[in-house]
Amino acid sequence: KIQEFNSILAYHAIQQFDKTKSRRRELMEYYRDNLADVPVRIWETREGVDPSYKDCVLFTDQREELDTFLQSRGIGTKRYFDPSIPDMGSFEGIVHSADNARRLSATCLSLPLYPALTDSEIGYVVQAVGDFFRG
């Protein structure tokens, strides 16, 4: 039965959750430590919050150029909130002041972040981001 199969998958995922979350935390720490001298802002959590680290979101005014550069190096990225929600047709005219949403939408880019990402792969991503900003 499909229900039993889904239950097995869910059970396995729950068993791996702590290990997965721990690896994602390590990867985020690596990004933060190794991109500290690069002119980007990396998403931060509030004190007392225990995030799952689903994404490594950084903010830069050069998002389009950085995205193109990373893609040319074979590095997959994601542009979330693009277009921003207030600019989607179904919301047009409803939201009158959405400057922050538009600014964040135009500047955020997600770097690879998944538990199977190897140390050499994340090193390659960090090196590429550094290469972009150092010219």
Minimal CA–CA distance to 133: which of 17, 7, 38? 38
- Number of independent structural domains in the chain: 1
Global pTM exceeds 0.85: no
Alpha helices in 35-118 (DSSP H): 63-72, 99-107
Q: What is the pLDDT of residue 109?
A: 96
| Predicted confidence pLDDT, tens digits, the chain (135 residues) | 568 888 888 888 888 888 999 999 999 999 999 999 999 999 888 899 988 888 999 999 999 999 999 999 999 999 887 777 777 777 777 767 788 888 888 999 999 999 999 999 999 999 999 999 998
pLDDT at 85: 74
What pLDDT score was predicted for residue 2?
66
Segments forming the whole domain that contains residue 124: 2-134
Q: What is the pLDDT of residue 4?
A: 86
Strand, coil or helix: what is 30?
Answer: helix
What is the H or E stretch that residue 41 is in?
A: strand 41-42
CATH number of the domain within which 55 lies = 3.90.1150.10
CA angle 84, 21, 69 (to 5 degrees): 45
